[in-house]
Structure formats: structure tokens, C-alpha cells
Amino acid sequence: MPRLYSNLIGWGHYAPENIVTNDDLTKIVDTSDEWIQSRSGIKQRHIAGENDFTSTMSTEAARRAMKQAGVEPEDVDFLIVATSSPDYITPPVSSQVQDQLGLKCGAMTAMVGCTGFVYALVTADQFIQTGAYRTIVVVGAELISRNLDWEDRTTCVLFGDGAGAVVVQATETPCGLRAFELGSEGAGYEAIIAYCPGTAEPVTHERIDARRQYLRMNGRAVFKFATRTMGESLQRVMDKAGMTPDDIDLFIPHQANARIIEYAVKKMNLPPEKVVMNVDRYGNTSAASIPIALSEALSEGRAKPGDTLALIGFGAGLTWASTIFDLGTTLTETPKRAEPKATVISGDGVVEGLIA
Ligand code: UT7
């Protein structure tokens, strides 16, 4: 069997309409625009409306990615949804998304915190390399605002809701994952945690009264972990790929905090213009942050066919994941049933349609 690679052929993202600014938050908790911006770089975030759910946001992002790729539901062989805020603990939200998209394939949910999308993309790539599946939809989605304690200023100002998705498809032309690293330091599991509901802390009135259902974060511990891990993991994955920062066209780190990203940029001497940052507009959207940033970069023509990307995630677990991913320059195979769209690179550098 010829060697198979993952070609990223479609991308899309969705963010709820409702935008909440830092000033809006000053009416809810004792905080200020100055504190939030100086500590995190966040100016605003999208917050889900009553008709938004993790499943519906995932479906919308995936639908946009599939439409752009010219992939029909029957072309999709597998679906992975990365999230830590599923509609329900059971069933897996991926099955709801599979149904909403009209897919006739297997579906799984990856709960790996903010790192989930990179874990899911690497997993999809393994299925493609073995020839098990040809076309896979990978989603990162998070409706974190319903899991936040809106009386806790240390967490509620930092997060936002949204979803991003990509379609990857097998090709014989070299592209896709060059190298990856998936990491976990479970000893730090309490640094980002929602205690209840779960089998360790089933729901009781006492636990609800104690607000054990909401996300808690030891910000300083996570900050230390993130600044250490981001640089080290990126370096290791570049070493694996035999690359230096000069060889990378675009760095897309998890958008948790501008200060964490700036620290890594300085420490690793990365050119700031090659580093994607949209945390100011979205806040920390956890598993959705990298696919939203990736989708925006592709839509704006900031990531182009043939580019080499570095994706770096870190978060709950504590976990981290990094990959070096080449965007394809040629789509060598057409979708099984759908007609491929022509690629249009418009005058302003916006890439539409398939990367071909
Ligand atoms: O995606 C998952 C990964 N998560 C992350 O990467 C988050 C990593 N951590 C961080 O980004 C930062 O630690 C935070 C942004 C969460 C906090 O920044 P910090 O510089 O570490 O602040 P701090 O927690 O040390 O708090 C400093 C002060 C405290 O007051 P005292 O004890 O010095 O009097 C807090 O009570 O700021 C206070 N504070 C606030 N003040 C105004 C905490 N939250 C707020 C707030 N508004 N929202």
C-alpha cells in the first residue's frame, strides 16, 4: 500500500453572536478591563445563547468545513469531536453531531481539555496513515460559559464559547503531520477541574450548594506549567521534524492567555508576525481555540497552501500536544462521491475551496 498522508481540505468555525466585553463583566464581578487585558490580553468573548449547544456549534463548524471541502455526508468515514463541555456526560456528544450532520460513520469524543483538538487531529492522521479511513472530520468545540461560576472572577473573565473544524482526507502526496508529541502530567489534575458531577463526586444538594459543579483553576500553577511546556514541547517536535523556527510558516498556539504566548515567543525567539493570536476577541475557548485560530488564518490567507504550521496545545489534565503540520499543495485524489471544487486564490490572498 502506498504511504498515505492527511491533506487538510476544508475548515470552518462558528462563534455565538452574543459578544461580552470586559466592561460588561465589571457589572457582574469585581474586575476591570485593565486587569483582564493586562493579565490575559482578552478584550471580549463570545457567549452562547440559549439555542447554542456544544453539539449545534460543532455541527455548524463542521458543516462549514465540509461545504468548503466539497465533501458530502456520505463521503465522511469518521468524526472526532474534542470537547470538555459535552451536551451530556452520556451519550458522547460526537454521536449527536454525527446525527445532526447526517453522517453514516463512527464518531468519538476526545475529552482532553484545551489540548483536545491536537490530540484528535493526530488520532485522525493515524487512521488515515493506516488506510482505515479516507475522509475524517475533526472538531474542537466548547460551551464553557455554562460550566463557569459567574461569581468567581478568577475564572469567569477568561473563557469563551465557540467551535472550529477541519476535514482531512487521505492523499499519496506528502503533506499533513510531520511530527507530533502528545503529553500528560496527571499529577497536576486538580489545577483545572470541575469536581461534580462525576463518579468521584456524584450530584448531591450539598455539592451543588458548595458550587462543586463549576470549573476551578489554579491560575498560577497552570501559568507555570503552560510557559514551561509550550516552549519545551515545541522545541522537541521541531527537533523530531528536523526543523527550526525559520522553517515554520505559522505558529498556532492554544489561545489561553496572550502573556503565555508572548513568553514563548520571547524564550524561543519566534518572529511575532508568524504567531497567531486571537485571544483578544475570543477569550480562552479551550479545545476550540486552535481550530478557530487555524480556520481564521486559512480564511484570511494568512495560512496558505504548502505552508508548514506548528500547532501547540496545553491545558487540563494537565496535558499538552504539539504537531508540525504541512498544508497540502495538491489534492491528488477526489472525494469518493462529491465533485471537487476548483481552488480559487483571490487577489487579496483569500483561499477559497480546496487546497489544490
Ligand atoms: O486553557 C487552560 C489553560 N489555562 C491557562 O493557561 C491559564 C493560566 N493562568 C493565567 O493565565 C493567569 O494565572 C491568570 C490570568 C489566570 C491570572 O493572572 P495572575 O497574574 O497569575 O494573577 P493571580 O492569580 O496571581 O492574581 C493576582 C491578583 C489577586 O489578588 P491578590 O491576591 O494579589 O490581592 C487576585 O485576587 O488579582 C486578583 N484577581 C483579579 N482582580 C481583578 C483575580 N482575578 C481577578 C479579576 N479582576 N478578574
- Model pLDDT for residues 105-118, shown as the tens digit of each residue: 999 999 999 999 99
From atom 29 of ligand 1, which residue's Cα is the shortest distance away?
Answer: 154
Establish whether 254 is a catalytic residue: yes
* 81 within 8 A of 109, measured Cβ to Cβ: yes
**Residue 2, preceding peptide bond in cis (omega within 30° of 0):** no
Cell 461545504 appears where? 67
Find out whether the beta carbon of 219 lies less than 6 Å from any atom of ligand 1.
Answer: yes
Q: Cα(128) to centroid of ligand 1, in Å?
A: 41
What confidence score (pLDDT) does residue 331 get? Answer: 40
Mean per-residue pLDDT over the chain, rounded: 92
Which 3 state secondary structure label does DSSP give 64?
helix
**Which tens digit of pLDDT belongs to each residue from 18-40?**
999 999 999 999 999 999 999 99
* Active-site residue, from 7, 22, 257, 284: 284
Angle at 57 between CA 253 and CA 177, to 5 degrees: 40
* Active-site residue, from 46, 114, 156, 175: 114
**Which tens digit of pLDDT belongs to each residue from 213-258?**
999 999 999 999 999 999 999 999 999 999 999 999 999 999 999 9
Q: Is the pLDDT of residue 341 over 80?
A: no
Instruction: Tell me the backbone φ, ψ of residue 178, rounded to 5 degrees.
Output: -90, -40
**Which tens digit of pLDDT belongs to each residue from 161-180?**
999 999 999 999 999 999 99
- Please give the domain boundaries of the chain with CATH numbers for all domains: 5-174 (3.40.47.10), 177-326 (3.40.47.10)
CA distance 229 to 234: 8
Tell me the pairing of strands 135-142 and 162-171. Answer: antiparallel
* Active-site residue, from 22, 46, 156, 254: 254
CA distance 258 to 59: 29
Q: Is the pLDDT of residue 12 over 80?
A: yes
**Which tens digit of pLDDT belongs to each residue from 260-319?**
999 999 999 999 999 999 999 999 999 999 999 999 999 999 999 999 999 999 999 999
CB atoms within 10 A of CB 159: 23
Establish whether 284 is a catalytic residue: yes
The C-alpha cell at 226 is 503552560
Find out whether the beta carbon of 261 lies less than 6 Å from any atom of ligand 1.
Answer: no
User: Closest ligand 1 atom to the C-alpha of 159?
Assistant: 1
CA distance 70 to 77: 15
The C-alpha cell at 124 is 485522525
What confidence score (pLDDT) does residue 329 get? Answer: 84
CA distance 141 to 63: 13
* 351 within 8 A of 304, measured Cβ to Cβ: yes
Tell me the pairing of strands 192-193 and 44-46. Answer: unpaired
Q: Is the full-model pTM beyond 0.85?
A: yes
